[in-house]
């Protein structure tokens, strides 16, 4: 029998393979949907230097076969989407404004769109999108996605006069879910986001009418990330071909190198071409397969290219991270560290880490909780296969056996133009040696300082205990020794004060008068 062959559209592919992007069951899908749309909203603010204000309403509508049907409403004050892109951005899988080399939460061009597609598949209802870039009109569309053609199908369109110059995006749609199971993850996710974005105002009303409000406590926000050109070490052969095709055939290879790549100037280009044994005046149109091969191999192996610049990244920053952790967990002790920029395979990255102890941290004594973040996204699943987990375990079982009477939390954030996720579900980061090393260095600094603090606290407690005993007897001793020496008893209060000051004991130690 002859097999039948068929081409799948991107929508249809993801419709059939929803699991790989995090839409595996009603609870996980609800979580992923909120997360993806929320991340789009945060991106739309942060990429444009806007202090985020995000509102999420989730309402239970009715029971369904597998779970329940919910209505999800999400509103932001971000950039808004230009009218000509609204339908494609949200009604076409793999259509994105983020296919550039820049740090952002979204990258694949499918997260938010897939959430809408999932809603459509499970409820059959169209999506409503309202958006404005702050100009004279607000655009309101209802549409569905045609899975076979991967195109939006419009049900209605309305332009509304934007008298108040409102700017932002509202998305409203129905989807199947299970909030009873997903609630823990959703609330956790929002709280962990709030802990590193104290400059965002986030409000969530859940189906039970519970309000979760994560208020803004700082007005400073990280600098927005910048778009960069590719670094020679970060490309593959296909991408090199594509880059070459983007420039005029008459351009010389020397000029091409300086125009197409990040951190390649005249001098570097000339030195590199000498290394690659290619004439600087060679025109792009005259590049043969042989030369292309040589060029590609040389680009990968030449080790004198300057590392990618990290000032295009948008790290959280030590003070904002510290403020966020304090705001959300009110710990007794908190410390943060931002490592120097580094790079792997031509992609710049920065590791930021924090440690917190006690306060309102969840968990129990002896626990070390690991909170992982990638480009400001909290990662809640697949902890065991993440590089941070591996490093933390190694340190805990090695020279940092931290004992503690209260829970400890470790925060690890990686900011990069390309996060090496293990899968499209964006949940775990691969073991890239350069990243692993930076995480380890960051944690070692934090652990060392934390252990010093712990030792001080333990010492203080011991001193307090001993002082209590001394205080009880020292008056007697001074009285008797005074008598023996036939003198006035010594003033022991001063002595005690001195000892207390030295060990930082502030409170008055109860003394028993004898």
Binder of residue 79, out of ligand ADP, Mg ion, none (CB less than 5 to 8 A by kind): ligand ADP
The residue among 97 and 309 lying less far from ligand ADP, judged by its C-beta, is 97
Residues facing residue 138 across a β-bridge: 160
Burial 86-116 (b: 16+ CB within 10 A, else e): bbebbbbbbbbbbeebbbbbbbbbbbbbbbb
Binder of residue 120, out of ligand ADP, Mg ion, none (CB less than 5 to 8 A by kind): none
Q: Phi, psi at residue 447, to the nearest 5°?
A: -65, -45
The residue among 75 and 268 lying less far from ligand ADP, judged by its C-beta, is 75
| The one among 22, 26, 67, 78 contacting ligand ADP by CB under 6 A | 78
| The one among 12, 36, 68, 427 contacting ligand ADP by CB under 6 A | 36
What's the burial of 511, exposed, middle or buried (CB within 10 Å: 0-12/13-18/19+)?
Answer: middle
Q: Phi, psi at residue 211, to the nearest 5°?
A: -105, 125
Binder of residue 110, out of Mg ion, ligand ADP, none (CB less than 5 to 8 A by kind): ligand ADP
- Rule CB under 5 A: say whether 106 interacts with Mg ion: yes
C-beta atoms surrounding 203 within 10 Å: 16
- Rule CB under 6 A: say whether 225 interacts with ligand ADP: no
- Rule CB under 6 A: say whether 150 interacts with ligand ADP: no
Listed ranges 110-118, 157-165, 184-192, 474-482: which one lies at the site for Mg ion (CB under 5 A): 110-118
Listed ranges 26-34, 77-85, 148-156, 287-295: which one lies at the site for ligand ADP (CB under 6 A): 77-85
| The one among 77, 103, 169, 268 contacting ligand ADP by CB under 6 A | 169
The residue among 32 and 40 lying less far from ligand ADP, judged by its C-beta, is 40
| The one among 112, 119, 168, 232 contacting Mg ion by CB under 5 A | 112
| DSSP labels, 406-433 | S-EEEEEEEEESS--BSSTT---B---H
Question: How many chain residues bind ligand ADP (CB under 6 A)?
Answer: 22
Which of 318, 313, 398 is closest to 355 using CA atoms? 318
Phi-psi region of 414 (alpha: psi -120 to 50; beta: other; left: phi over 0): beta
- Rule CB under 6 A: say whether 335 interacts with ligand ADP: no
Note whether 272 and 304 are within 8 A (CB): yes
Window 42-61: contact mask with ligand ADP (x via CB under 6 A): --x-----------------
Q: Phi, psi at residue 448, to the nearest 5°?
A: -60, -45
To the nearest whole angstrom, how small is the minimum distance from the Cβ of residue 48 to ligand ADP?
A: 9
| Interface positions, 92-121, toward ligand ADP (CB under 6 A) | 96-98, 106-113
| The one among 9, 29, 33, 40 contacting Mg ion by CB under 5 A | 40
- Rule CB under 5 A: say whether 107 interacts with Mg ion: no
* Angle (deg, nearest 10), helices 289-301 and 266-276: 120
Alpha helices in 92-158 (DSSP H): 111-123
- How far is the C-alpha of 249 from the C-alpha of 41, rounded, in Å? 41
| Interface positions, 335-374, toward Mg ion (CB under 5 A) | none
Dihedral angle of Cα 241, 103, 138, 92, to the nearest 10 degrees = 50
| The one among 29, 33, 79, 178 contacting ligand ADP by CB under 6 A | 79
| Residue ranges binding Mg ion (CB under 5 A) | 40, 106, 111-112
State the residues that interact with ligand ADP by CB under 6 A: 36, 40-41, 44, 76, 78-79, 81, 89-90, 96-98, 106-113, 169
């Amino acid at each position: 029998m002859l097999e039948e062959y068929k081409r799948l559209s991107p929508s249809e592919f993801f419709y059939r393979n929803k699991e790989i992007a995090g839409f595996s069951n009603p609870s996980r899908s609800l979580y992923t949907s909120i997360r993806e749309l929320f991340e789009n909203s945060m991106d739309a603010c942060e990429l444009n230097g806007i202090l985020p204000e995000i509102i999420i309403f989730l309402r239970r509508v009715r029971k369904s076969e597998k779970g329940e049907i919910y209505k999800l409403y999400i509103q932001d004050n971000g950039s808004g989407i230009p009218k000509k892109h609204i339908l494609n951005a949200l009604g076409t899988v793999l259509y994105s404004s983020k296919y550039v080399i820049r740090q952002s939460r979204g990258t694949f061009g499918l997260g938010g769109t897939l959430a809408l597609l999932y809603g459509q598949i499970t409820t059959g209802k169209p999506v409503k999108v309202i958006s404005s870039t702050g100009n004279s009109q607000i655009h309101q569309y209802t549409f569905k996605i045609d899975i076979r053609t991967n195109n939006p199908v419009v049900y209605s369109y309305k332009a509304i006069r934007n008298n108040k110059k409102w700017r932002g995006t509202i998305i409203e749609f129905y989807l199947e879910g299970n909030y009873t199971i997903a609630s823990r993850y959703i609330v956790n996710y929002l709280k962990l986001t709030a802990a590193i974005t104290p400059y965002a105002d986030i409000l969530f009303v859940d189906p039970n009418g519970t309000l979760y409000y994560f208020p803004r406590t700082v007005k400073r926000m990280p600098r927005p990330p910048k778009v960069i050109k590719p670094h020679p070490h970060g490309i593959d052969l296909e991408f090199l071909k594509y880059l070459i095709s983007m420039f005029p055939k008459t351009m010389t290879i020397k000029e091409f190198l300086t125009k197409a790549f990040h951190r390649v100037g005249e001098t570097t280009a000339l030195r590199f071409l000498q290394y690659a044994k290619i004439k600087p005046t060679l025109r792009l149109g005259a590049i043969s397969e042989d030369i292309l091969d040589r060029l590609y191999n040389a680009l990968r192996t030449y080790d004198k290219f300057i590392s990618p610049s990290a000032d295009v990244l948008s790290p959280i920053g030590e003070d904002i991270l510290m403020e966020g952790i304090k705001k959300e967990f009110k710990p007794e002790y908190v410390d943060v560290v931002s490592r120097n920029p580094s790079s792997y395979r031509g992609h710049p990255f920065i590791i930021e880490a924090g440690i917190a102890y006690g306060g309102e941290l969840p968990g129990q004594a002896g626990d070390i909780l690991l909170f992982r973040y990638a480009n400001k996204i909290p990662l809640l699943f697949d902890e065991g296969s993440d590089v941070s987990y591996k490093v933390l375990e190694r340190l805990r079982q090695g020279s940092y056996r931290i004992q503690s009477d209260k829970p400890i939390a470790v925060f690890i954030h990686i900011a990069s133009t390309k996060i090496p996720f293990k899968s499209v579900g964006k949940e775990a980061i691969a073991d890239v040696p350069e990243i692993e090393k930076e995480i380890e260095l960051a944690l070692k600094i934090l652990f060392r300082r934390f252990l010093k603090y712990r030792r001080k606290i333990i010492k203080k407690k011991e001193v307090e205990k001993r002082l209590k005993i001394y205080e009880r007897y020292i008056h007697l001793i001074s009285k008797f020794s005074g008598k023996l020496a036939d003198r006035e008893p010594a003033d022991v209060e001063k002595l005690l004060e001195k000892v207390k000051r030295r060990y930082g004991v502030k409170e008055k130690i109860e003394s028993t008068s004898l």
